[in-house]
Amino acid sequence: MQTSRRIFFNPTSLPGLRTKPPRRDFYNGGITPRPMVGLRNGMWRGIRKESTETGEDQSGHITAGLNEGILFIDNIFPLKLTWLLRYPLRSERNLPDLLNRFHSQTLSALDPIGLVKRAIPTSLPLKITEILPRFKDGGAFVKFSHPDAITAKEIEGLVGRYLDENPVKPWFNPFRGIRTRLVVGKPWLEDLHRFPSCRIKVEFIPTSPGGTAAELSQETLYSLFRKYGKLAEITSQASDSKVLPKFAYLDFARMRHAIMARNCMHGIKIAENQGGGAAGTELRIWDWLLNHPRIVIPALVVITSGVAIAVFDPIRTFFIRARVEHSFNLKDNRVYKWFKNQAEDIFTFRLHKAEEASLDAIWNDRKQVIDQLGTWLMETAESFIVIQGPRGSGKKELLDQALQGRAQKTLYIDCKKIIEARGDSATISAAASEVGYRPLFAIFNSMSSLIDLAAQATIGSKSGLSETLDSQLKKIFETTTTALKQVALSHRKKDDKDATLSDEDFLEAHPEYRVVVVVDNFLHRNEETIVYDKIAEWAATMTIENVAHIIFLTNDISYSKSLSKALPDRVFRSIALGDLSPEAAKKFVISHLDQQQDSPTEDVVKLSPSQKRRDLNELDECIDVLGGRLTDLEFLARRLKTGQTPSHAIKEIIQQSASEIMKMYLLTADKGDRKFSAQQAWTLVKLLAEKDLRYNEVLLSNIFASSLTPAASNGEAALEALAAAELISIKTQNGRPATILPGKPLLRESFKTIVSDTALRARLDLAALKENIAIETKSITKYEDELTVLGNLPRQRELGARIQFLLDNLASSQQKVEQWTKETVALKKVLSEQY
């Protein structure tokens, strides 16, 4: 439904363009607007439909009747300031408001409609009936009526000669006057987001449906369009082209000439004697879409990207190389080293040396692994290495020991910082920071996202200025690959015996020059994310191209699932780190004690701290309980340094661990997005306190097979989540999960401590029994429903086996429910009596 509104100002009511004597209005010093400006075709001229550009009867076209003509007058609006006149681009329904601004006190002398009035001599026998401004074309259509004694063509000539003798030049273009031409076609008053250009596309259309159109020659096109301005080029459609309708491109020397030609010639019918064929040919003229946002914006994206690559990529490569080679590292500066050596002569820094000495105690236990890792890094074959082990197993310390002497050719990437970043922009910034990729211009990506939103609202599709997380990570890693390759090839010299080898062959022949890329905390979170996939793909590419040695450090035992996607046809080398042996663990703790800083007395000189203690006979038993986890051993050693006995220290460690387990897995009210339930965790805690469990047996239990918690309904996913949280560990056999153990040796005693709490055990058992009862009740309901359906069927002998099967299952479930119900009564009694 189209609404009407009163327009107190419009082009047809301008002074000098009305057919009636003007009344004094508020544009000429009056106080109130003129409510009625006269009649036209039986309608009040003060009432106009909301749209002013869709033409007669909303057809999108304007035509001239008997004794009428249409002139197109150009250069009355500035083309380059269209955005200022109409922003954002919309239909010209806001024309009255715009002209109101033009007619304000400060702009009255610059009125564009006044230019139209000045361009038409008052002596001509014509009457202006309508003016339709075309902002994006920089001109206006002027419709007029004339007497029989003169033709529209003659009026065009008179107006043209008048403008030659009396040029009218607008304020925004003082060097070029206004031009006008008679409209000989049927102009299309479109308000699409298409913008003028020097090129127009002329399509040859049949004059009637089903007819044929003639393809006009270049000579004919030249004769038709040359009067509107100088033509730079005419390009006909290829003779073998199957595109219909046939077309040609006309390139004008000036944009305004192309605008004039399109507005005056669109819809013209070319007769046979003019080259239009037997049935005639209609010309449809379009602005060439080069200026359409769908083409312009992507073109700008390509140009901007090209400039960014040419200018900033070398800078980013330089910074990545500087990070790998430690070019700006203060610790490698000679002056810094001198001051450090002078300070070490004065201060002892015994605490730092104590930690180094304590770590030396474990290298003998893992010397074979260190040597194996060093050997792999010197082989010419592809180096794709994975070091897997639980948290606190000393993966990074082991790697530091193996990479001694290669520190200046090592790039560390911590996935934890990237994964924990919030939002795509923060993730991109974190990834760039890890490899030294700068400048990043993260703010520009945010601005580009806003531009994308604006472009999508304007043209219906994104501009492509902003980049996705996938594309940004790909760009960062590709630039990093280039930098790492340059670092490796920087050792190449022209006079080497391998000077004739290609870059790829040289890198393959010299593994000692390749950079070592260490990806720490890979699969830090047990979740699917594009970051892990992109890192794995990038690492695989560098490995295949022999650009770098790749070493992954991960806690996740299922790392092969992610890495196999990147290298499906390659076998990567792996090292599984476990706990230290009891002997190495004891040496590690004692080395911590022996490096304890004491007052310089004679006793300290004669006896080490471990020799002075009389309670270290308890250490063997404590280490059997604690296990060989490096972080736990350090925790124990620090407690011993404070004066605690081993038995007292291990008791407090167990109690603290038990409290953390209850808080994190068993008693937490807010479950968050975890993939396991408290009942599943409690079932494992209670069973693992006594013995190790069979993996498949646990999966068959009700709590894991039929959990009522939606997030924990997948038993295998729940076990993987608990393993990722390090409550349990899963031991494999022949590549399949076989045994479930506590996450670390200490947890066994922690589980026993939790289970020994009678009230806590009753509470958790009660929750588990209630879920079991609910699961069996659900099964009973299912059996009953099926028995009801079978009971309504005709009696058949074949149904007897199925009915008996359902009855047996129903009875078995009912027995379980009755047994568990009795147990819940006993547990409730315990809870009512125990604190």
Where in the chain are the domains? Answer: 4-182, 199-291, 317-327+366-576, 582-642, 645-756, 774-835
DSSP for 124-141, please give it.
SS-EEEEEEEEGGGTEEE
Instruction: Please compute the mean of the pLDDT values over residues 487-508 and round it to a whole number.
Output: 84
Residue 156, amino acid: E
Closest residue by Cα to residue 275 from 219, 210, 195: 219
Q: Is the distance from CB of 214 to CB of 314 less than 8 angstroms?
A: no
Instruction: Please compute the mean of the pLDDT values over residues 427-437 and round it to a whole number.
Output: 91
Query: Residue 446: its pLDDT value, please?
Result: 57
Lowest mean pLDDT: which of 249-258, 282-291, 486-495, 534-543? Answer: 282-291
Instruction: Please compute the mean of the pLDDT values over residues 461-477 and round it to a whole number.
Output: 72
Q: Which residues have a Cβ under 8 Å from the Cβ of 754 and sit 6 or more positions away?
A: 658, 661, 662, 666, 685, 689, 760, 761
Query: Residue 47: its pLDDT value, please?
Result: 32
Ramachandran assignment for 203, one of left (phi > 0), alpha (psi -120 to 50 degrees), beta (any other):
beta
**Cα(53)–Cα(90) distance, integer angstroms:** 11
Look at residue 152 and tell me whether its pLDDT is greater than 80.
yes
Instruction: Please compute the mean of the pLDDT values over residues 695-722 and round it to a whole number.
Output: 91
- The more confident residue out of 405 and 684 is 684
Return mean pLDDT, the chain. 79
Lowest mean pLDDT: which of 69-73, 358-362, 680-684? Answer: 358-362
481 CB neighbour count, 10 Å cutoff: 19
Look at residue 779 and tell me whether its pLDDT is greater than 90.
yes
Categorize the per-residue pLDDT at 348 as very low, low, confident or very high, splitting at 50, 70 and 90.
very low
- The more confident residue out of 688 and 408 is 688
| 645-756 shares the fold of 317-327+366-576 | no
Look at residue 517 and tell me whether its pLDDT is greater than 60.
yes
Q: How many CA atoms lie within 13 A of 46 on its CB side?
A: 8
Q: Which two tokens stand for residue 376?
A: 């792999």
Look at residue 467 and tell me whether its pLDDT is greater than 60.
yes
Phi, psi dihedral angles at 723 (to 5 degrees):
-70, -40
Closest residue by Cα to residue 286 from 230, 184, 189, 202: 202
Look at residue 285 and tell me whether its pLDDT is greater than 80.
yes
- List Cα–Cα distances, 696 to 585, 687, 693, 807, in angstroms: 33, 14, 9, 27
End-to-end CA distance of the chain: 76
Query: Residue 60: its pLDDT value, please?
Result: 72
Q: Which two tokens stand for residue 799?
A: 């149904």
Query: Residue 724: its pLDDT value, please?
Result: 83
Query: Residue 683: its pLDDT value, please?
Result: 94
Largest Cα–Cα separation, the chain: 132
Give per-residue pLDDT as tens, 533-587: 899 999 999 988 889 999 999 988 778 878 888 888 777 888 888 888 888 888 8
Tokens 């075709």 -> residue: 41
DSSP for 163-222, please give it.
HHHS----TT-TTS---EEE--S--B----S----SEEEEEEEESSTT-------HHHHH
Query: Residue 303: its pLDDT value, please?
Result: 63
CA 230 from chain centre, in angstroms, equals 49
**Confidence (pTM):** 0.59
CA 597 from chain centre, in angstroms, equals 53
Give per-residue pLDDT as tens, 794-835: 888 888 899 999 999 999 999 999 999 999 999 999 999 888
Q: Which residues have a Cβ under 8 Å from the Cβ of 104 and sit 6 or more positions away?
A: none
**Cα(173)–Cα(175) distance, integer angstroms:** 6
Query: Residue 36: its pLDDT value, please?
Result: 36
Tokens 């409290």 -> residue: 659
Q: Which residues have a Cβ under 8 Å from the Cβ of 293 and sit 6 or more positions away?
A: 193, 455, 458, 459, 463
- Check residue 735 and report its DSSP letter: T
Query: Residue 58: its pLDDT value, please?
Result: 60
Look at residue 19 and tell me whether its pLDDT is greater than 50.
no
Lowest mean pLDDT: which of 75-79, 185-189, 513-517, 602-606? Answer: 602-606
Bridge partners (DSSP) listed for residue 410: 516
Closest residue by Cα to residue 563 from 521, 515, 522, 511: 522
Most confident of 188-197, 284-293, 454-463, 702-711: 702-711
Look at residue 43 and tell me whether its pLDDT is greater than 80.
no
- Check residue 707 and report its DSSP letter: -
- Check residue 500 and report its DSSP letter: T
Give per-residue pLDDT as tens, 530-541: 899 899 999 999
Q: Name the fold adopted by 199-291.
A: Alpha-Beta Plaits (3.30.70)
Give per-residue pLDDT as tens, 306-325: 666 677 788 889 999 988 88
Residue 405, amino acid: G
Tokens 């040419």 -> residue: 310
- The more confident residue out of 191 and 147 is 147
**Cα(352)–Cα(334) distance, integer angstroms:** 22
Instruction: Please compute the mean of the pLDDT values over residues 426-430 and round it to a whole number.
Output: 90
Phi, psi dihedral angles at 413 (to 5 degrees):
-125, 120
Give per-residue pLDDT as tens, 102-145: 344 444 456 677 788 888 888 889 888 888 888 888 888 888 99
**Cα(634)–Cα(586) distance, integer angstroms:** 11
Residue 265, amino acid: M
**Cα(424)–Cα(470) distance, integer angstroms:** 10
Categorize the per-residue pLDDT at 172 as very low, low, confident or very high, splitting at 50, 70 and 90.
confident
28: exposed, middle or buried (C-beta count within 10 Å: 0-12, 13-18, 19+)?
Answer: exposed
Instruction: Please compute the mean of the pLDDT values over residues 452-481 and round it to a whole number.
Output: 69
Bridge partners (DSSP) listed for residue 733: 736
Look at residue 275 and tell me whether its pLDDT is greater than 80.
yes
- The more confident residue out of 754 and 620 is 754
CA angle 186, 192, 197 (to 5 degrees): 80
What string of H, E and C letters represents the secondary structure of 321-384?
A: HHHHHCCCCHHHCHHHHHHHHHHHHHCCCHHHHHHHHHHHHHHCCCHHHHHHHHHHHHCCCCCE
Percent of the chain with pLDDT over 90: 34
Lowest mean pLDDT: which of 172-181, 240-249, 340-349? Answer: 340-349
Q: Is the distance from CB of 141 to CB of 175 less than 8 angstroms?
A: no
Percent of the chain with pLDDT over 70: 76
Q: How many CA atoms lie within 13 A of 464 on its CB side?
A: 13
Look at residue 602 and tell me whether its pLDDT is greater than 90.
no
Q: Which two tokens stand for residue 371?
A: 């040597």
- The more confident residue out of 615 and 787 is 787
Give per-residue pLDDT as tens, 656-676: 999 999 998 998 655 667 889
CATH architecture of 317-327+366-576: 3-Layer(aba) Sandwich (3.40)
Query: Residue 15: its pLDDT value, please?
Result: 38
What CATH number has the domain spanning 645-756?
Answer: 1.10.10
Query: Residue 98: its pLDDT value, please?
Result: 38
Closest residue by Cα to residue 766 from 708, 826, 709, 684: 826
Q: Is the distance from CB of 37 to CB of 131 less than 8 angstroms?
A: no
Question: What three-state secondary structure class fits 539?
Answer: helix
Look at residue 91 and tell me whether its pLDDT is greater than 60.
no
Q: Which two tokens stand for residue 673?
A: 């997005």
Lowest mean pLDDT: which of 326-340, 693-707, 759-773, 789-803? Answer: 326-340
Q: Is the distance from CB of 730 to CB of 557 less than 8 angstroms?
A: yes
Categorize the per-residue pLDDT at 54 as very low, low, confident or very high, splitting at 50, 70 and 90.
low
- The helix or strand, by DSSP H or E, that contains position 458, with its residue range, turns out to be helix 442-459
User: Cis peptide leading into 439, omega within 30 of 0?
Assistant: yes
